Every structure is written in structure tokens, then in C-alpha cells.
Amino acid sequence: MASVVVVGTQWGDEGKGKIVDLLTQHADFVVRFQGGNNAGHTLVVDGKKFVFHLIPSGILYEDKQCMIGNGVVLDPEVLLKEMKSLAQQGLPVTPARFTISENTHLIMPYHKVLDMGSEANKKDGAKIGTTGRGIGPCYGDKILRSGIKCGDLLDEDLFKEKLKENLAEKNDIIVNKFGGQALDVDTIFGQFQEYTEELAPFLGNVSMKLDVARKAGQHILFEGAQGTQLDIDHGTYPFVTSSNVVAGNACTGSGFGPAHIDAVIGIIKAYTTRVGEGPFPTELFDEVGAGIQKRGGEVGATTGRDRRCGWLDGVVAKDAVRLNGVTGLALTKLDVLSGLDTLKIANAYETGGTTYHAMPGNIRKAQQVKPVYEEIPGWQENISAVRNADDLPQKTKDYVKRIEDLTETPVMLLSVGPDRAETMLLDNPFEK
């Protein structure tokens, strides 16, 4: 039995969905433990593209159990659309292999209105770049103890009581602060009654099911969203998401004891990208950055926005290894760097005569730092057809080795293309 956590080491979009899909072959359970539908996982399997926003990508395997943990915030409309889309592709999602924690909080219509209104009211320099999907306001209500949980759907009186209390407060903000239209209790109640009919069979106690699975010796894979630098506590705050994305939240967000985690796999892109606002020390504004963006197809699966691109940030990578307790790296999109004469890796930052070896906690300093680069020879060969790491060009191997040395962490997996087959598993965490 092994329990493995997969996390992003940068600002998200590192290719977690593909890596989770690969590791799922060796797991029995796949658990999403945080975030909402503001994150997207894109998979290409046998040339067919799948985009997931809530359901764990392990759902593509018919013999696997998939779960949404209590650390997730769930938009039922989005989830049901995703389930119907999979059914239309011949992959029906049934209660026999998909469970939603009854403690998962619901994203309500007023959360989306508040999200958009709050962002619109910020000055340009203060905008976060939120997706406007209600994630932050939903997590806010959870912390303020006024949230509505999935399990509340099964008690009509409780659900309606909570809905009325929330709308009395939220409508005041929507109307008087944002100049919008008040939302109607009965309309929302009726809408969610329809959701309840479809979702009720999927609700359950994820924590207990995982404990039974662990004691039975089954393999469990925990899947996070976003990346370490978007963590609400450890990221470039306030330009972050509204949940803890680090590996420690795999336990909190699912009800699984921390002593039972065996490995943490950190997904690291061969370069660095970011969507939305916020610090990005290694960002490129030249032809090299534009070339990486084009060759890497760097467009957000959820937002549709072009991703900002830059050289690999070793400071961010080392932060992630420390914060997550990463035991192995999965290096993705290595093929995108083919054709470049020289590659760069930031191994420190400087500003005002001070050198930083970690991302500054002060956001203004984080925005001011300049990367201290080391240069590494690039390679010209197209490596997308390589299926054995030993067959990679020597300069490619040197680049991989430098990442291992810098992070003091072994690379356990290499990806040279978007398809499932274009991935080399060097060391399987489920076989330890």
C-alpha cells in the first residue's frame, strides 16, 4: 500500500493532470483535495483531448475510485456538465466509482456575483486576476462559518434557512455596493433542488472510505490544483488562490492522517509560466518568451488566457521542495526547449543590494527582485519521439541533472509531449 500526493511546484499549469493520469494506472483511488473549477487539467489520450475542472482525471480509468474531498469548493452546475460531457463520450460517472464528501462546500450563485463585483471594484494595480468563478467568496464563507455544505442539500429546511441568511447579507452588498440586482431565494432554492436529485447518490464520507482503502492495502493518489506559489499562506500573497495547495492540505482536505503519506511528487515545468497578475521574476518579454508560449501551447485550460512565460525559476522550485516535502520531481514539457542555444535557470534573486534564496514574503520586494541566472547550453534535437531517458541528448541530460542538483531532489518522471505515451516513468512511487 502507498499513498502519494501530487502537487504543482510553480504557479500552476505544470501538467498535473497528465501526471496524475499516468500514476492513476498504479493507484486504486484518486482524490481531489482542494480548489474549485478555477483550475483545469488537460489530458491528451490517444490523440483525444479531455479537460477536467472538478472530477479527478483518474475517471478515465473505469476500474478506479475517484473522490472529491472536503477541501474542494464545488459548483454543482459545472460538475454536472462535466459528468454529462463524459457520459456523452462513453464514460458514464456512477456512484459506484465517484464520491463527493458531504463536507465539501458549495459555490452558490451569489459567490460568483461577489467575486466579479469585488474584482471590478479594485484599482488596476490591485486586481488579482481572479477567474470570477466564486472560489474566494466561497472559501471566505467557509472560514466565517456561514458556508453551505453538500450534505446540507439533503436537509431542505436547513439548506433554505442557510440560503435565506446568506442572501440577506449578500444582496445588501450586491445591490448597495456593486449596483447589481438582488438574487431571489426561491429561484436559487428551486435550482438547487434539481441539483440535489442528481448529486445525492454521490455524497458520502470520503474520510471513512479512504481509511477502509488504506487498511485494505490499496494505493491512494491525492491530486491538487494550482501550484505552490499560489498557496494562500505560502504563495505570492495576495496574488494567490484562496486555499492551501501544498501537500499538507491533502490530509486536511480529505480527512486522511498525515502519518500515512508515503511520497510527494512535485510537478515542475522545464520553464516557468503564470496566469493572471502578480510577481514573476523570470518572465520573458522577448522573442524567446513568445516562442516558448507558442511552442508550449501556453493557454489556460480554464481561463483561455495566454500564460506568461519565462525561464525556469530555481528559487521557486526550491521553495516548493521545502514547503511540500517533495520526494521526487516530474519534469514536464522538456521538448518545448528544443532548439534554443542557451538556457537559463534563476538560482537566486537580488534587489537593493540584498540577495534572496527564497521568494520574499513582502509582496513589494517580490515584485522588485531581479533573477540571478546561470546559463546552461541548450540542445537542437527534437526529443518528442524519445521514449527512454538514456536516449536523450547529453545536453538535455545535463539540464535535467542541474535541476536535480539545484533542488536536491531526483527527477522521477520526464515528459516530452502532451500525449500519455510521451512520458517516461523513471521511478514509480507506488512500488517503493
Catalytic residues, which ones? 13, 41
Q: CA 342 from chain center: how many Å?
A: 30
Rounded Cα distance between 351 and 369, Å, is: 5
- What radius of gyration do the chain's Cα atoms show? 22
Helices (H), 59-201: 76-88, 109-121, 135-143, 156-176, 185-199
Beta 411-415 vs 328-332: how paired, if at all? parallel
Rounded Cα distance between 213 and 371, Å, is: 46
Beta 342-351 vs 370-377: how paired, if at all? antiparallel
Query: For residue 406, how many C-alpha atoms fall within 13 Å in the half-sphere facing its CB?
Result: 27
Angle at 223 between CA 217 and CA 229, to 5 degrees: 140
Dig out the grid coordinates for 360 from the structure.
Answer: 520574499
| Sign of the alpha-carbon torsion through 304, 310, 315, 318 | positive
For residue 400, the tally of other CB atoms under 10 A from its CB is 19
Crossing angle for the helix pair 109-121 and 135-143, to the nearest 10 degrees: 110
Query: Residues near 123 by Cβ (< 8 Å), separated by ≥ 6?
Result: none
Dig out the grid coordinates for 38 from the structure.
Answer: 478555477
Rounded Cα distance between 254 and 72, Å, is: 9
Dig out the grid coordinates for 225 from the structure.
Answer: 490544483
For residue 376, the tally of other CB atoms under 10 A from its CB is 16
Dig out the grid coordinates for 171 from the structure.
Answer: 444582496
SS3 19: helix
Helices (H), 25-123: 76-88, 109-121
Beta 65-68 vs 98-101: how paired, if at all? parallel
Q: Where are the beta strands (DSSP E) in 387-431?
A: 411-415, 423-425
Rounded Cα distance between 68 and 315, Å, is: 32
